[in-house]
Structure 1
Amino acid sequence: MTIRFTQSCPTCGRRVQIRASLIGYNVACQHCNAEFVAEADADDHSSMNESNVPRAIVPDPLMARVEEALQRAAENRAISS
């Protein structure tokens, strides 16, 4: 499952769908080929096209796995207490 968001191209203004894993990287507009940095507004998940958007967008898959492991550990501690 790939999480994507839309961002307006700063050159031509058209909306471009971008993979969330590319946040912070240079991307090229598919319409005018202008390059810009992919930036998702952390408070606006309305542009995300997946129903289960994570609380924080983690560009690195390894970090996503670390976050999941930490959450499971916290849940296990809560159950054990």
Structure 2
Amino acid sequence: MVNNVFFSQSCPVCGRSLRIVVTLLGHRVYCQHCGGGFIAMDDSLRSKSPPGERSRRPADAVEALIERADWTLRQSGVESPDCGYETTATD
């Protein structure tokens, strides 16, 4: 019988508190509630944000996801007649 040890971390996207098994420390994990991905870090190890990392506020994380999705759509040249969203691939 294996007894896993967990720690708690808030999802940087939706703010929900998650129980994460300690063997995933330092690995990318995904929130089961919102699907947001982030690196599992114990609070005591998070003394400083990595260079270039945006604020950890949920609103900032949502904005970053929207910007990334917009960039991806523009790069792919997706056209959606239902919503009128048209893009052209840019370099």
- Which residue is equivalent to 2:35? 33
CA shift, 1:27, in A, is 0.1
Q: Secondary structure at the match of 1:21?
A: helix
Report the CA distance between 1:16 and its aligned residue: 0.8
Cα distance, 1:42 vs. partner?
Answer: 3.4
Share of identical aligned residues, percent? 44
Show the 5 A alignment for 1:42-53. Answer: 42=44
Q: Is the 8 A contact 2:27 2:39 kept in 1?
A: yes
Distance in 2 between residues matched to 1:10 and 1:42, nearest whole Å: 16
TM superposition outliers: structure 1 runs of 4+ over 6 Å: none
- TM-score, length-normalised on structure 1? 0.50
Residue 20 of structure 2 is matched in structure 1 by: 18
Structure 1 gaps, min length 5: 44-81
SS in 2 for 1:2: coil
- SS at structure 2 position matched to 1:42: helix
Letter in 1 for 2:13: T
CA distance in 1, matches of 2:14, 2:43: 20
Q: Which residue of 1 aligns with 2:9?
A: 7
Q: Aligned equivalents of 2:32 and 2:20: distance in 1? A: 10
Query: For residue 42 of structure 1, what is the amino acid of its counterpart?
Result: S
Query: Amino acid of the residue matched to residue 23 of structure 2?
Result: S
- Unmatched segments (≥5 aa) in structure 2: 46-91
The structure number with the bigger radius of gyration is 2
